[in-house]
Chain A
Amino acid sequence: MKDLKQVIMASAGALVLATILAGPATSAYPERPVTLVVGSVPGSGPDVLARSMSEEFSQALGQPVIVENKPGAAGNVAAAQVSRSKPDGYRVFIGTINMAIATWLPKTPPFDPATDFAVVGRVASIPNVIVVSPKLGVKSIEDFIAMAKSKPGQLNYSSPGVGSLQHMGTDAMSNINGIKLVHVPYKGGKASTTAVLSGEVEMFMAGMPPAIPHIKGGTLLALAVSSAERFPLLPTVPTLAETVMPGYSAEAWYGLFMAKGTPATIVETANKALNKALSNAMVIERFKAAGAAVQTSTPGAFAKFVATESSRWKKNLEELGLAGTR
């Protein structure tokens, strides 16, 4: 019996030693599950995309991918946390355009999207779509502008908050066309959409996901989309650029980010796995159903894009007098 005990003790000791030694030596990323951090609640836009691709992303990485929701401050609680986490590639954040917008609203920005992350790659983009009730009696975006001109300060539009992409987009449209609309903020895109449905407000420059079901069901009328090209799901709807806002384009984008200082080899590995997952037909189909178009990129190209977006929206917020006010 004593021998047995010694054997057990010895092998346990050896095992512990082996684990300690083996730990840093064989660091072929990834060697344990990867956490995909979502900055909003389950069921939200980024969450749906994250869950739609987590299975395929996991297959491509060769490790389980766990989706973790850490909501707060338009996703920026999670973004700030991932930016400061250990740069080992095990915490990946699905970032949204809010990283480039909402970060400039507080008095001290929690991070700089251009410099505080290792950028992995682009995931998807979702354009905005201008919707009105069919009962409003306008058939095109030009009709709407004309109606707004004849009733200055009488039409209302909803948005998910001051300083949101939807708010700034509508504001830009009003300025270019010289119309005056009253801004009514709601909590989230779904509530903003409901407001148009119930007739409380006349117009909403919606994100695709909450609007698509109603456009298809005929309860909302789509007047224009905000992307540079027409959107595949709504081929008959013109872009803002080809109608009332020449040269304009603004889309909600999604991408993956890691902590600042993550080694380039890890970022490369993750980027390849991501692009492989995004080429899967099932993933493309699920994204499409959610109103998103899959987009892939190299880490470098996406990093450049994020930097441009960051300075664009920072400037926009400064012009509106919103930057650094919270």
Chain B
Amino acid sequence: MGLLDNISLGFEAAFTAQKLLYCFFGVFMGMLMGVLPGIGAMATISMLMPITFYVPPDVGLIMLAGIYYGAQYGGSIASILLNLPGTPSSAIICLDGYPMSRQGRAGPAIFLTTYASFAGSFFAIFLLLTVAPLAARLALSFGASEYFSMMILGLIAAASLAQHGVLRGLAMVIVGLILGLVGSDVASGTYRFTFGTLELADGLSIIAVAMGLFGVAEVMANLMTGQDDRPQSGTVRIRDLVPTRADMGQTTGPIARGGVLGAILGILPGTGASIAAFVAYGFEKRLSKTPEKFGTGHVPGIVAPEAANNAAAQAAFIPTLTLGIPGDAVMALMMSALIIHGIQPGPAVIQEHPSLFWGLVASFVIGNVMLLVMNLPMIGLWVRILTIPYRILYPIILVLVCIGVYAVGNSVFDVLQLIFFGFVGYLMIQIRLEPAPLLLGFVLGPLLEENFRRALILSRGELSIFVERPISAGLLFASLAVVILSMVRLRSNSKSPDVPAGGR
């Protein structure tokens, strides 16, 4: 059975009026909901899941999948326009996307992320078509020690992308890891730092942390400095919406590298997308001849992570469908939708339901084209949000953030956490500490500890397990290389007079 057979089978299966309609509905809803802070793929899918009971399983799956990757497109829009990331992977889009927006270049930024999303998705779809069953095996070759080493690499990358020095980045990663300790410890179940409240037993709310540190803190900082009473851009001209040729010229390399990284890391169940986005960003910054431009609205800083996290979102389907291992909560939800229909995701799914599998892959292609076509004309609309004066916009942001945080767990307690992290974020802006590495640390913290401890239980206490296994050793070696490179760069920078010291 050749590649072409699979592709044609897939497109044959996907090109029915019903499937196209549901695909469109899925990607459209996903994109819109992705824009709303906090309301991501998860909330939308759990709302629309009952629909899938009444349509054939492949149609339902195509719709749910559309919501999932559609939300990835939408997520970066709020990050660019308002500094409101819904997930850690879109938090990194804030770093360069929001500055671009402040320079009046929100239009090109959204254009470029849309383009990068599209290209990144295609890398992963290509991977799905060619090596899906093989790639799935990679997911199983990752044990506790490999996960631990990969997370170390992700965290080192996050620390090194900090703008005000590796030390500060590292400090933020550790603070994030500490915040991740809150809740019940996986190995023993002990409640740590919960201050006796049952609500904290599962840890802090990730959405509250992200929205507090980025959104609420930004609102407070803007109001305190009082500089933001502008209508940010008076009129919107078509010319301001599309990127310049110079912008486009900077995209090819970063998108290709981001796409490949995302496609590979996305296969790994768990936190593939966030790690991929952070590593892609860190990687581009290392490679760049002008690393000081990152964080000031630099084009590779948005396209590389965006390509990476969309590629990861598509690749995440590989372990879910071929192994029955869901990478995250959304994938678990999709699996249960299939199971209710009597389809057991697992190694047999490609053989037993070829038209379902290849039809889904084909629908990714169709859905991504739809998203691209749909998104580009909407850029003008999104940018128009910025013509609203800030003094009217910020109360709206605040209400949306509150509802978004509440809706994730239907919990008022999560909204209260938002206040705390708003204050913390404001303080961090004042003393030049960055929230992005903290957020990755927070997300990876529990996993890092869990896998570290598990690896040592499995090795009966031998630390050598981390270097004896080849993949783990390779990842640790790469982390070490990043550290050494940063130190070398730090030294050479402090010698040359024209580059401001501590700039990175």
Contact = CB atoms under 8 A, between A and B. Distances in A.
A–B direct touch in complex (beta carbons closer than 8 A):
yes
A190 interface: yes
Contacts of B324: 213-214, 217
B199 interface: yes
Interface string A179-217: 000101111001000100110110000000100111011
Interface string B168-187: 00000000000000001011
Contacts of B340: 48, 52, 286, 289-290
Contacts of A216: 344, 346, 348
A136 to B, nearest CB: 15
A41 B410 CA distance: 11
A185 B53 contact: no
Interface string B38-53: 0000100110011001
Given A197-B323, A217-B324, A106 B50 contact: no
Q: Which of A69, A182, A212, A326 has the most CB of B within 10 A?
A: A326
A163 B201 CA distance: 15
Given A43-B329, A200-B143, A48 B191 contact: no
Interface stretch (A71-79, A114-122, A250-258, A304-312): A71-79
Given A162-B188, A197-B323, A216-B344, A42 B198 contact: no
A198 B339 contact: no
Contact of A200 (B144, B191, B348, B411): B144
A42 B186 CA distance: 20
Contacts of B74: none
Contact of A72 (B189, B199, B450, B454): B199
A184 B454 contact: yes
B189 A105 contact: yes
B332 interface: yes
Nearest to B323: A197
A261 interface: no
Given A161-B189, A184-B457, A200-B143, A209 B339 contact: yes
Given A72-B201, A73-B201, A217 B348 contact: yes
B387 interface: no
Q: Which of A70, A198, A290 has the most CB of B within 10 A?
A: A198
A256 B274 CA distance: 38
Given A48-B336, A187-B186, A289-B342, A42 B42 contact: yes
Given A55-B53, A286-B340, A69 B347 contact: no
Contacts of B347: 217-219
A140 interface: no
A22 B128 CA distance: 60
B329 A68 contact: no
B356 to A, nearest CB: 14
Interface residues of A, number: 51
B410 A68 contact: yes
B346 A217 contact: yes
B366 interface: no
Nearest to A67: B46
Given A182-B457, A217-B348, A190 B409 contact: no
Contacts of A105: 189
A110 interface: yes
Nearest to A217: B346
Contacts of A185: 186-189, 454
A51 B54 CA distance: 13
Contacts of A295: none
A52 B202 CA distance: 26
Contact of B202 (A51, A69, A73): A73
Given A42-B46, A213-B324, A216-B344, A73 B184 contact: yes
Interface string B323-335: 1111001101111
B202 A72 contact: yes
B341 interface: yes
Interface string B129-151: 00000000000111110000000
A198 B411 CA distance: 36
A74 to B, nearest CB: 8
A322 to B, nearest CB: 8
Contacts of A55: 50, 53
Given A43-B333, A161-B186, A197-B140, A71 B409 contact: yes
A266 B450 CA distance: 45
B345 interface: yes
B190 interface: yes
A194 B189 CA distance: 20
A183 to B, nearest CB: 8
A77 B198 contact: yes
A48 to B, nearest CB: 5
A101 to B, nearest CB: 11
A94 interface: no
A85 interface: no
B259 interface: no
A286 B411 CA distance: 30
Contacts of A72: 198-199, 201-202, 409, 411
B458 interface: yes
Interface in A60-112: 68-73, 76-77, 80, 105-106, 110
B269 interface: yes
A43 B335 contact: yes
A158 to B, nearest CB: 9
Contacts of A68: 410
Contacts of B49: 42, 51
Contacts of B446: 187
Interface in B267-289: 269
Contacts of A297: none
Interface string B434-457: 000000000000100010001001
Given A185-B186, A217-B348, A325-B190, A69 B141 contact: no
Given A42-B42, A77-B199, A213 B346 contact: yes
Given A217-B346, A219-B346, A42 B45 contact: yes
Interface string A214-232: 1011110000000000000
Nearest to A182: B457
A200 B325 contact: no
A194 B202 contact: no
A69 B457 contact: no
B50 A217 contact: no
B191 A326 contact: yes
Contacts of A212: 344
Interface in B7-62: 42, 45-46, 49-50, 53
A249 interface: no
17 contacts: A42-B329, A43-B46, A43-B333, A54-B50, A68-B410, A70-B409, A72-B199, A185-B187, A190-B332, A198-B141, A198-B142, A198-B143, A200-B143, A216-B348, A217-B346, A219-B346, A289-B339
Which 9 A-B residue pairings sit nearest by Cβ, starting from the closest?
A43-B333, A213-B344, A73-B201, A42-B46, A217-B346, A43-B332, A213-B346, A198-B140, A162-B189
Given A51-B50, A217-B324, A322-B189, 16 more contacts: A42-B42, A43-B335, A52-B340, A68-B410, A69-B409, A72-B202, A72-B409, A73-B202, A76-B198, A110-B198, A161-B184, A161-B189, A214-B324, A219-B347, A289-B340, A290-B340
